[in-house]
Amino acid sequence: MQCSWKALILLALVSIAIQYTAIRTFTAKPFHMCPVANPLNCGLGLDVEPFDRTCDEYPYFNYNSSRKIHILILATTRSGSSFVGQLFNQHSDVFYLFEPIYHIQTTLIPHLSPSRYAVERRVMLGASRDLLRSLYNCDLYFLESYIKPLPANHTTDKLFRRGASKALCSMPVCDAYSPSEGNIDEGDCVRKCASLNLTLATESCRERRHVAIKTVRIPEVSDLKALIEDPRLNLKVIQLVRDPRGILSSRIETFRDTYRLWRIWRATGRKPYNLDLSQLTTVCDDFLNSVSTGLSRPPWLRGRYMLVRYEDLARNPLQKTKEVYEFLGLSMEKSVVDWIHNNTRGNNDLSAKHKYGTLRDSAANAESWRLKLSHDIVDYTQNVCQHILDELGYKAVNSPEELKNMSLSLIEDKTFIPFL
């Protein structure tokens, strides 16, 4: 059978494309083993598949306890995630980033449309996973595509909450503070440090043993399955949950314009007909789906997932932090212990001055929502979120008197054992 000259040319082009792809695969980024297995070199005998990066790009890859640990704090807005993030930010060997996915949301989906929520969520999640993978590999240049205006010469002053990261406010990224500097005020960091040089930030990331990232923009732990299953990342997830009634109360106080109708309901006792109920139902649905996945213990979460109630952390911050650190395989440094002592017996008025503040009387703060919400809002929340309240061990209240009786705790003693 004769082939036309067009068919022959097409076959030749396909052949060239296949050969080109093969050559790129095997020569573009050659993988080689480092000569000695130590904390500064690649591991020998790792039971993972080789990947197309060099040892210089992954200096932390090693076997057993010397492997770099990646930490993701999975939470929702106003659940105490800023506080939990600081528990890792204080560790001298942790490179911490506060909400880097914020840049994806503001760039790709500046105005979230309820009618397009499913489509926009898929777009967000795909881009978020790619960004997280790059950041955990200390590739901070990946962020540049989402920072507006576009950084010039890898330098920007538009990184969201740069001052919340000690690593980005100290050497080699910023020389305004000495290495022994204690608690660095976020505002002072922004004022004293020059624009953020992402090359220096990348260098700082690679010098530290672990990377921790906090996000409130990924709904469920199952959305992270591809990252958790990647043996190169060694990712562990701390899912922070809080009583939805407390979350709602905090959002009403913090996001006054967005939750204006809830404030009207609380003040008048009448529920507005156009109240956006998704502001409550989305939290409870995401919690229920994510917690149900985590507590069902699928094989891909073994050793990778720990559920933490904010209320337990608030009541026993030092003990709970020790448990989290033990699960992660990290040592508790004195700087972490000191920060806990200095930031869990604070004045609530001081914390209220900044919506992301962490200075508070943590034990009193855990159930302070009971003095701020009306009983009809609480009763409605309990009906909508009954399943997740039961799952997480939060008790319902049956009367206005019971709601305001602070001697009666609404938090069951319930232990969530990590899946090891």
- The yes-or-no verdict on residue 110 having pLDDT over 90 is no
- Structure confidence by residue, pLDDT tens digits, 370-388: 999 999 999 999 999 999 9
Query: Going along 109-246, which residue ranges are E strands?
Result: 155-156, 196-197, 210-215, 235-241
Cα 102 from Cα 217, distance rounded (Å): 8
- The pLDDT confidence band at residue 41, using thresholds 50, 70 and 90, is very low
- The yes-or-no verdict on residue 111 having pLDDT over 70 is no
Q: How far apart are the first and last CA of the chain?
A: 63
- Structure confidence by residue, pLDDT tens digits, 232-282: 999 999 999 999 999 999 999 999 999 999 999 999 999 999 999 999 999
- The yes-or-no verdict on residue 317 having pLDDT over 70 is yes
- The pLDDT confidence band at residue 10, using thresholds 50, 70 and 90, is low
- The pLDDT confidence band at residue 112, using thresholds 50, 70 and 90, is low
Cα 197 from Cα 172, distance rounded (Å): 10
- Which strands make up the sheet holding 210-215, listed edge to edge? 94-98, 210-215, 69-74, 235-241, 305-309
- The yes-or-no verdict on residue 121 having pLDDT over 50 is yes
Instruction: Confirm whether pTM is higher than 0.95.
Output: no
Which of these, 292, 278, 285, lies nearest to 117 by C-alpha position? 278
- The yes-or-no verdict on residue 154 having pLDDT over 80 is yes
At 186 the pLDDT is: 82
For the beta carbon of residue 99, count every other beta carbon within 10 angstroms.
19
Q: What mean pLDDT comes out for the span 65-94? A: 91
Cα 243 from Cα 414, distance rounded (Å): 14
- Structure confidence by residue, pLDDT tens digits, 171-207: 999 988 765 666 677 888 888 898 999 999 999 999 9
237 sits in the region (left: phi over 0; alpha: psi -120 to 50; else beta) called beta
- The yes-or-no verdict on residue 295 having pLDDT over 90 is yes
Q: Which amino acid is at 312?
A: D
Dihedral over Cα of 13, 16, 18, 21: its sign: negative
- The yes-or-no verdict on residue 87 having pLDDT over 90 is yes
